[in-house]
Structure 1
Amino acid sequence: MPEIPTVLFVCVHNAGRSQMAAGYLRALGEDRVRVLSAGSEPADTLNPVAVAVMAEEGIDITASTPRPLTGELARQADVVITMGCGDACPVFPGKRYEDWELADPAGQEIDTVRAIRDDIKDRIAALLDELR
């Protein structure tokens, strides 16, 4: 049986982009992928607009909480996907890295956050195809 890959999503606050990506990958990847997320400067709570737009897709991310990025989390990952955390994201040899240029949903109107969500969904679908 092949090993299950681990994907780590990292953004600054771990309250919007990375949480939406993690929610999609958990939902669409089912038990074929292990999912982690973290932030270089984690917020206290999730972005409520991100929670709302994911609920529109039938994905509940309310149980998730922003958490700090640690070297241990990065070492657990096979794939590290960054979203605007820049130099704060550690780099470990042997890991696959991708940087997804996505607007930060913090403080944005719901239609803008929906567009970010839809972009993330497309990227997650492509990622799942690559991981298979």
Structure 2
Amino acid sequence: MSEKKRVLFLCTGNSCRSQMAEGFAKTLGTDPSVEIMSAGLDAQGLNPMAIKVMQEDGVDISSQESTTVTEEMVASASLIITLCDHADANCPATPATAERRHWPIADPAQVSGSDAEVLAAFRDARDEIKDYVFGLVNDLRSGEEF
């Protein structure tokens, strides 16, 4: 039996993008032998707007927790996916046993403007993340190793 695979979604604050990726990965049917985690370089709490736009898409992330990445999380990961340039540049060293990918998603929490403009930015980030996660899930189902 092979060792359990662990996917770590990493962002700056673990409040929006990595939380959405974790929610989609758990909901879209990754193999039970794959553990899904998310963390931030500095946990900033779960963003209510991220919860809202995920609920619009039928995914409840309200019980997920914002956590700060630890060396143990990085060391145990089979695949580390950064979702912002800051996390990509400042991620702790990736162990030789892990693959690393970068999904450059704009931070919807940094958008200013009307409520409608901010909501649109969160929806755009959600939809882009969903596309990436669909690709990841399909890779896992087709037996792609990482």
Normalization by structure 1: what TM-score?
A: 0.92
Give the Cα–Cα distance (whole angstroms) in 2 for the partners of residues 98 and 40 of structure 1: 16
Q: Secondary structure at the match of 1:29?
A: coil
Query: Paired residue for 2:36?
Result: 35
- Encode CA deviations 1:48-103: one digit per residue, 9 max, x unaligned: 11110000111111111211111100112111001221332112112110011000
**Matched AA of 2:72:** E
**Pairing 1:13–2:22 present:** no
Quote the offset at 1:2 in angstroms: 5.1
Quote the offset at 1:107 in angstroms: 4.2
Give the RMSD, CA atoms, in angstroms.
1.5
Any unmatched runs of 5+ in structure 2? 112-117, 142-146
Quote the offset at 1:19 in angstroms: 0.1
Any unmatched runs of 5+ in structure 1? none
Query: Paired residue for 2:127?
Result: 118
Query: Paired residue for 2:115?
Result: none
Query: Paired residue for 1:89?
Result: 91
Give the number of aligned pairs: 131
Quote the offset at 1:115 in angstroms: 0.8
Give the Cα–Cα distance (whole angstroms) in 2 for the partners of residues 120 and 33 of structure 1: 19
| Higher gyration radius (CA) | 2
Normalization by structure 2: what TM-score?
A: 0.83
Query: Paired residue for 1:69?
Result: 69
Asked if 2 retains the 8 angstrom alpha-carbon contact of 1:26 and 1:33, the reply is no
Asked if 2 retains the 8 angstrom alpha-carbon contact of 1:42 and 1:67, the reply is yes
**Matched AA of 2:78:** D
Give the Cα–Cα distance (whole angstroms) in 2 for the partners of residues 103 and 125 of structure 1: 18
Percent of counterpart pairs with the same letter?
A: 38
Give the Cα–Cα distance (whole angstroms) in 2 for the partners of residues 32 and 56 of structure 1: 28
Match for residue 106 of structure 1 among 101, 105, 109: 109
Quote the offset at 1:4 in angstroms: 4.2
Query: Paired residue for 1:22?
Result: 22
Q: Secondary structure at the match of 1:106?
A: helix
**Matched AA of 1:128:** V
**Pairing 1:52–2:52 present:** yes
Give the Cα–Cα distance (whole angstroms) in 2 for the partners of residues 15 and 92 of structure 1: 25
